[in-house]
A and B are shown apart, each in its own frame.
Chain A
């Protein structure tokens, strides 16, 4: 099965700084690459996703970059704000992406 790792496991940044979280996966058949944000005690929410035919996608302060050759994709958050504090999960998928394999999560803390 798919082996998914995220780095770092915890990340602390100052408000206004950028944050980058990297996700590596093992299944070369993966073709869908989403990132989810989960606040404490709440449901995971999709924040951005990318398909295998695209290398980069941006949505305001959030971007995802994909390197399919190296089997990793990254989440980039610019101008971080306290409300960005949460756990972020990558969840690569195959076959259109609805069977997702979640990473172990990255706890992001944005400090004032």
Chain B
């Protein structure tokens, strides 16, 4: 089992550009979560998705951020018109089951976004 795969590992964008972060969950996992980690801080929940559905996006900024998890292919976290404050590590996690059931989260290695 390859684990949760995220790419790219490092991403540099200029202010105003778009950033697209990809996450392939572990085999057999259909629940995906995105977390953001600022330097020397804990992880902050952003969004929880199942295939083709957003279940909880309470942690997503209202503007410029969007996420999807299509029927085929990886989950995508998209940040439009990036600003310096978006610089952070973005971690994806997956689980076998979703909320209401106990199922550990398995994290990917993250994408480190730097906005110049």
Contacts and interface: CB of A to CB of B under 8 A. Distances in A.
A102 B43 contact: yes
Contact of B107 (A43, A97, A98, A105): A43
B103 interface: yes
Nearest to A46: B104
Interface residues of A, number: 23
B41 A105 contact: yes
Contacts of A97: 99, 102-103
Interface stretch (B11-19, B71-79, B80-88, B90-98): B90-98
A99 B56 contact: yes
A89 B91 CA distance: 15
Nearest to A90: B42
A99 B45 contact: yes
Given A89-B42, A98-B98, A101-B45, A43 B105 contact: no
Interface in A64-109: 89, 91, 95-105
Contact of B109 (A32, A43, A105): A43
Contacts of A45: 107
Nearest to B43: A102
A51 B105 contact: no
Contacts of B99: 95-99
Contacts of A95: 99-100
Given A95-B99, A105-B41, A105-B42, A42 B33 contact: no
Interface in B2-24: none
B16 to A, nearest CB: 28
Interface of B: 31, 33, 35, 40-45, 48, 56, 91, 95, 97-110
Interface of A: 4, 32, 34, 42-46, 49, 51, 89, 91, 95-105
